Structure 1
Amino acid sequence: MSRTADPGPTAPDAPDEPDEPDDEPAEHLRFAAHLRSLGATRPDDEAGTVREVLADPDPVMARSAVLRHLDRRAAGLLPDPGFDEWSASMAGAVDGDPLLTRRLREWDLLRSVTLARAWSTEDLDGASDWLQRKVSAESRSPRALAFLAVHGRTRRIRNAAAAGLREAPTRQDAGPPAGDAG
């Protein structure tokens, strides 16, 4: 007896396509709308827009949108002289949120390491895995790389920092990475 493949549900009974906008959860739509709003805001309105997003009824989603925005903006502004003013403005906007406040402090520390400003090994030692990974993968600072090669929190961080030390002359000769200045 030959069997034919089950054709599956017919069109009227088939479930709607999952990527149709009507099927997208409301928080996903708001997340995308928040990212668009944050990305389009003028610098002088940015702190207010961040506060508006953080007032969303879903605090986890709102924090996630603001965190992504902070990471994008900080990465773009890292070598820019306006970074410090921007960071201070954002610190006021996210005051009271420990995660966002810490991420801003870590961007400030990354800026100090990147621009060869004053920073302490204690600050780098107490930094999140995120920052230690970022510094070990992207930094040209022999001091930061040497510290993380020995004291990095994870094997991945220590190995990346050690590799960065071996590549340090190549990294320095290649010129500053995107977003690096001075």
Structure 2
Amino acid sequence: MNAEDRQGEPAEHARFAAWLADLEQVADADEFELVGRVLADPDQVMARAAVVRHLDRRAAELCPGTAWEEWAAAMDRAVTAHPFLTRRLREWSLFRAVTLRLPWDADELLASSDWLQLKAAAGPAPEALGVLADRGRTKRIRTTARAGLTRRGGG
């Protein structure tokens, strides 16, 4: 990590910025080792925040591609001791299934976080839009899904 101690900035803020920079530049072969080092940081809240940002960025990049399965399995091993990160990765897998029209379970989508429900409600999959328009957890999720159905001519 190449954190610089900036004048007056709390140390964890400098480490967070440095971890993010390192994660953005890491080679694929070193990614999971670096994630492990970040998660070993004494400030666990900061460490998990850095890793979730990285996970979201990489998942969005890899989601539609063929590299997803191998990456997701390795990332799952890297974050296994961190329930929030494990859940986020699982939700990215569900989002991938919904958007690529792979098999997925409506009950699993309805049990997912507001983050995933809103992301899916803003997406293109009519099956998910229908489920979330009727039974999404929040009014915002239901409204977003209904708007998506209307745009598609399905509502």
Tell me the amino acid that sits aligned with residue 156 of structure 1: R
RMSD across aligned positions (CA): 1.4
Q: 1:150 is matched with which residue?
A: 134
User: How many angstroms does 1:21 deviate by?
Assistant: 2.3
Distance 2:51 2:150 in 1: 36
Match of 1:16? none
**CA–CA distance in 2 between the matches of 1:136 and 1:116?**
14
Query: Amino acid of the residue matched to residue 146 of structure 1?
Result: G
Q: TM-score, normalised by structure 2?
A: 0.94
* C-alpha deviation, 1:81, in angstroms: 0.7
Q: Does 1:28 find its partner at 2:13?
A: yes
Larger Rg: 1
The aligned runs of 1:127-142 (5 Å cut-off) are 127-137=112-122, 139-142=123-126
Who is 1:166 aligned against? 150
Runs of 4+ aligned residues of structure 1 deviating over 4 Å after TM superposition are: none
Unaligned runs of 5+ in 2: none
Deviations 1:29-72 (A, max 9, x none): 00001001111111111111000000001000000000000001
Unaligned segments of structure 1, at least 5 residues: 1-19, 170-182
Structure with the bigger percentage of helix: 2
| Identical-pair percentage | 54
The SS at the match of 2:137 is: coil
2:133 counterpart of 1:123: no
Where does 1:8-157 land on structure 2 (aligned, <5 Å)? 21-137=6-122, 139-157=123-141
1:134 positional shift: 0.4
SS at match of 1:133: helix
The size of the alignment, in residue pairs, is: 150
Query: Normalized against structure 1, the TM-score is what?
Result: 0.80
Deviation at 1:127, TM superposition (A): 0.5
Q: Deviations over 1:70-124 (max 9, x none)?
A: 0011111111110111111100000011000000000000000010000000110
The superposition leaves residues 117-176 of structure 1 with CA deviations (integer Å, 9 ceiling, x where unpaired) of 000001101100000000101x2111100000011000000000000001125xxxxxxx
The amino acid across from 1:124 in the alignment is L
- SS of residue in 2 equivalent to 1:21: coil
**Residue 24 of structure 2: SS of its match in structure 1?**
helix
Counterpart CA distance in 2 for 1:42 and 1:82 is 15
Q: Distance in 2 between matches of 1:68 and 1:154?
A: 24
